[in-house]
């Protein structure tokens, strides 16, 4: 019985270490920049991009990361402001509406930048590459994947 317990414990530890190594090598444990780089590399291989197309895809990725960073920087301020509003006896509707309008304005500004970068990238693709990209986007599991039998993506 003791031998079985020791062997089981060693096997569990080895499986855990192996899983961590594989996850780290795929770029999933290293933050948003690493995951973006991994996705861009994967998309470049899948679409068989030439150097100019890879540069355009890199520009798109850089703009996505810049937009992400601008929203991440504001996240803590928004959480604090919302916490203060909820701690008050009554919700300050004017402040909530102004925060929403500010956020929508930021989305609109960045949305145009993102649309232009994606259009520049997709306009440089050959027809077969565009078809592959369209199929990839159609099949992409948006959100964080299925949870409890539900998908978070478009139905």
What tens digit of pLDDT does each residue of 73-84 get?
Answer: 888 888 888 899
The mean pLDDT value for 118-138 works out to 89
Rounded distance, CA 109 to CA 63, Å?
12
Q: Would 20 be classed as within a structural domain? A: no
Q: Which domain holds residue 79?
A: 27-138
Provide Rg for the chain, Cα atoms. 22
Q: Would 3 be classed as within a structural domain? A: no
Q: Would 1 be classed as within a structural domain? A: no
Tell me how many domains the chain contains: 1
> 6-15, 29-38, 88-97 — which is least confidently predicted?
29-38
Q: Would 128 be classed as within a structural domain? A: yes
Rounded distance, CA 155 to CA 53, Å?
31
Q: What pLDDT, on a 0 to 100 scale, did the predictor assign at position 145?
A: 55
Q: What pLDDT, on a 0 to 100 scale, did the predictor assign at position 2?
A: 81
The 10s digit of each residue's pLDDT in 101-117 is: 988 898 888 888 889 99
What are the backbone dihedrals phi and psi of residue 154, each rounded to the nearest 5 degrees, phi first? -65, 145
Mean pLDDT (the chain) is: 82
SS3 at position 150: strand
Q: Please report which confidence band the pLDDT of residue 155 belongs to, taking 50, 70 and 90 as the band edges.
A: very low
Q: Would 92 be classed as within a structural domain? A: yes
Rounded distance, CA 31 to CA 37, Å?
10
The mean pLDDT value for 98-102 works out to 90
Q: Both tokens of residue 63? A: 């703009």
Chain centroid to Cα 67, Å, comes to 11
The 10s digit of each residue's pLDDT in 6-29 is: 888 888 888 888 777 766 655 555
Block residue for tokens 């290293």? 30
Q: Would 126 be classed as within a structural domain? A: yes
4-20 core/surface letters (b: 16 or more CB in 10 A; e: else): eeeeeeeeeeeeeeeee
- DSSP, residue by residue, 1-57: -HHHHHHHHHHHHHHHHHHHHHHHHTTTTS-HHHHHHHHHHHHHHHHT--HHHHHHH
Q: Both tokens of residue 3? A: 């031998």
Q: Both tokens of residue 39? A: 């996705």
The 10s digit of each residue's pLDDT in 57-68 is: 889 888 988 888
């Amino acid at each position: 019985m003791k031998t079985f317990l020791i062997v089981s414990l060693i096997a569990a530890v080895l499986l855990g270490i192996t899983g961590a190594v594989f996850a780290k090598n795929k770029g999933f444990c290293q933050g948003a920049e690493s995951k973006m780089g991994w996705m861009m590399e994967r998309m470049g291989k899948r679409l068989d991009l030439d150097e100019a197309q890879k540069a355009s895809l890199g520009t798109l990725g850089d703009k996505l990361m810049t937009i992400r960073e601008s929203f991440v920087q504001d996240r803590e301020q928004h959480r604090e402001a919302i916490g203060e509003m909820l701690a008050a006896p009554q919700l300050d509707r004017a402040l909530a509406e102004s925060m929403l309008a500010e956020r929508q304005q930021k989305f609109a500004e960045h949305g145009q930048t993102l649309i232009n970068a994606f259009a520049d990238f997709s306009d440089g693709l050959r027809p077969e590459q565009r078809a592959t990209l369209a199929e990839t986007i159609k099949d992409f599991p948006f959100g964080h994947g299925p949870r409890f039998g539900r998908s978070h993506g478009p139905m």
